[in-house]
Amino acid sequence: MSFSKLGLSDPIIKAVKDLGYTKPTAIQKQAIPAVLLGKNILGTSQTGTGKTASFVLPLLEKLIKVTKRGKTPTTRGKRIRSLILTPTRELAVQIEASVAQYSKYVDLSSMALYGGVDMEEQKERLVDGVDILVATPGRLLDLLHQRALYFDEVEMLILDEADRMLDMGFIDDISKIIERLPLERQNLLFSATINEDVRKLADSFSGDGFSGIGFENKEFYDDLEDINVSPSSTSADTINQWLVTVDKDTKSALLSHLILDQKWDQALIFIEKKHGAAKLVSQLEKRGIKADCIHGDRSQAMREKTLAAFKSGELKYLVATGIAARGIDIGALTRVVNYDLPFKPEEYIHRIGRTGRAGALGEAISFVAMGDFKNLCAIESRLKHIIDRKEIDGFPVRKTVPVSILNYVPKHQRAGHTGSDNSSPYYGKNKGKKGTTKPSAK
Ligand code: AMP
């Protein structure tokens, strides 16, 4: 199937072809016609499956269609015609960059709006009105309160990474924004995972209900037909995932060893704490590895500069806290490292989704210390498989991490088994403590 069969106009198809897209991805095939029909959409899809184009392309199509009927693109100053809400600045910048690429042959304006930078410039840009505004909730509300923009001409609302926005505590801001939007509008909500909170949010802003796309839990919606996008609870199968168990105090040495020994060309390295990020960069540099970091305490300008250096290949190793790296699409990213294992399975899936995008091959490596065992159980339960373990010469672990319950095989079937308990799926340190090891996939 080609893009032209989806009901998109020539200038949009031309822009997509310029980017080298030859055919629509699964989510694009489903979402584009549905959005063009004016449906409210609740979409889930694996990360990196072309989700952005699945909502931006039909949005452009709809906005140019209205123009053809005689309306000017943005009729009045300080007005916007569509609003894309995202959890982070980086994602807002990235989505707006995609909008600019996809809309290069049509006469529509777009802008990214986010905090941490000067407001005055943003206000000036809004004076003439903008067709497509990509915004983070906080700054948008600030400018709304200052009457730098009005919502009365919004035709479409898109919430991207809704689960992440809720995790980040944006529910009040989102509710305030939604309250101020015109009632008659189209709503699209995309989320890597659909949980109760996401569903509540979706229900709260669409009286007409949603068409589900890419759904895992079909029972939520009655009107699902022919829906067949891989569920988001699993990760793209183009990603080679493996883990290495490690003691906390040898993590940075292990990372340096892997970078040098396996001649890694590139790595996005996720770390839990902001101060840990800067420390890791200096530890790597002491071993002759040039790296840099992004986290919430660095200025927006620095974050953008560092990210641009990483995207261009000038910087090969980027250490990032989960939030700072959320949603970042780095063309052909080959490798992500969970230097710290995330607390939630959803976060693991988001993170490793930074690689293996749009069918490319990728590698996701996790460092797992004894204290991560419960998280590991939850992640592997969510993935529904055990992640391959590799042993790295010269890095024996003092505190072994038991194998999660998913890997349980009776003792007599275990090759090279060294554990001591054949009645429990857990052995080693956690022997007998079943309560602490129960997989808790949410
Ligand atoms: P996304 O899931 O929107 O972050 O997209 C992931 C990557 O896939 C981006 O680099 C897009 O440029 C790319 N992409 C999106 N749609 C297509 C397509 N139909 N064919 C090839 N690549 C695509």
Q: What is the CATH number of the domain that holds 145?
A: 3.40.50.300
Residue 317: beta bridge partners?
267, 291
Tokens of 235: 């990760």
Task: Let me know whether 272 and 184 are in one domain.
Answer: no
pLDDT in tens, 233-253: 345 567 889 999 999 999 999
Which one of 281-295, 315-329, 343-357, 407-421 scores highest in mean pLDDT?
281-295
Q: Which bin fits 282, alpha (ψ -120 to 50), beta or left (φ > 0)?
A: alpha
Q: What is the pLDDT of residues 357-373, one digit of tens each?
A: 665 678 899 999 998 98
Q: Are 320 and 277 in contact (CB under 8 A)?
A: yes
Query: Comparing C-alpha atoms, which of 147, 140, 149 is closest to residue 115?
Result: 140
Nearest CA to ligand 1 atom 18: 21
Examine residue 424 and state whether it is found in any structural domain, yes or no: no
For the chain, the C-alpha Rg in angstroms (whole number) is 23
Q: Do 277 and 397 sit in the same domain of this protein?
A: yes
| Ligand 1 centroid from CA 143, angstroms | 31
Nearest Cα to 310, choosing from 287, 336, 330, 335? 330
State mean pLDDT over 423-435.
34
- Ligand 1 centroid to residue 27 C-alpha, Å: 11
What's the whole-model pTM score? 0.61
In a domain, 176, yes or no: yes
Residues 15 and 159 in one domain: yes
Q: CA of 171: how far to CAs of 82, 168, 362, in Å?
A: 20, 8, 33
Locate the ligand 1 atom nearest the alpha carbon of residue 23 and give its number: 19
**Which residue CA neighbors atom 10 of ligand 1 most closely?**
331
- Structural domain range at position 261: 239-401
Q: Who's near 123: CB < 8 A, 6+ residues apart?
A: 143, 146, 148
Strands 317-321 vs 186-190: parallel, antiparallel or unpaired? unpaired
Q: Indicate whether 420 belongs to any domain.
A: no
Do the beta carbons of residue 267 and residue 279 sit within 8 Å?
A: no
Q: Please indicate, yes or no, whether residues 134 and 210 belong to a single structural domain of this protein.
A: yes
Contact between 328 and 90 under an 8 Å Cβ cutoff? The reply is: yes
Q: Strand, helix or coil at 367?
A: strand
| Nearest atom within ligand 1 for CA of residue 19 | 12
Say what the pLDDT of residue 297 is: 77
**Residue type present at position 269:** I
Domain boundary residue among 228, 254, 284?
Answer: 228
